Structure 1
Amino acid sequence: MILIDPPVWPGWDRVWSHLVSDESFDELHAFARQAGIPARAFDRDHYDVPSDKYDELIAAGATPVASRDLVRRLIASGLRHRKRT
């Protein structure tokens, strides 16, 4: 399933959402490609998408979830890639 959290993450004078799959990276990349999200928006395990794409991505099939639920489901799927410290 493709999941998206609310656009609350600030950066570059905008706010952003995270787009993930809780099933596979193949599913995530295919959805992003179809939605016109550039490959450069992919960061380890998610796509960063600007707030102006939020409603469009939900209309395309992404399921809106709270940020904590998105992370919980990403970890449970085994697809979570944390930053190295």
Structure 2
Amino acid sequence: MTVLIDSADWPAHGTFWSHLVSDTSLEELHSFAEANNLPRRSFDLDHYDVPAARHKALVAAGALPVSYRDLVRRLQASGLRVSGKERAERARRAH
């Protein structure tokens, strides 16, 4: 089981955000998120967006802090990464 989290370097909505992913399965990711009270609405196809205020608690709960580059590399290697093309297609279908 490996749940990964990058640094809270992504600004939006008045705070900074991290990405939380699993390099094993989406089931593992959802289970970890649920156990740590992350709302399902913060899930974005292959990751959860996590506000900076939650970063330390998620690391304490077992998320492994990694660089953004390492997070993406490991997500791609797992086969769970949603491509930019697929992301755009899903967004188009949602509207």
Task: Give the structure-1-normalised TM-score.
Answer: 0.97
Identity of aligned residues (%): 55
Partner of 2:21: 20
Kindly report which structure 2 residues correspond to 1:20-39, keeping only aligned pairs within 5 A, or say none.
20-39=21-40
User: What SS does structure 2 have at the residue aligned with 1:44?
Assistant: coil
Measure the CA separation in 1 of the matches of 2:36 and 2:77: 25
4+ long deviations beyond 3 Å? none
User: What SS does structure 2 have at the residue aligned with 1:43?
Assistant: coil
Measure the CA separation in 2 of the matches of 1:47 and 1:54: 12
Structure 1 position 8, deviation (Å) = 0.3
Deviation digits for residues 22-81 of structure 1 (CA, Å, limit 9, x no counterpart): 000000000000000000000010000000000000000000000000000000000001
Count how many residue pairs are aligned between Structure 1 and Structure 2: 85
Task: Give the structure-2-normalised TM-score.
Answer: 0.87
**CA root-mean-square deviation:** 0.8
Computing the radius of gyration over CA atoms, which structure comes out larger, 1 or 2?
Answer: 2
Partner of 1:84: 88
Which is strand-richer, 1 or 2? 1
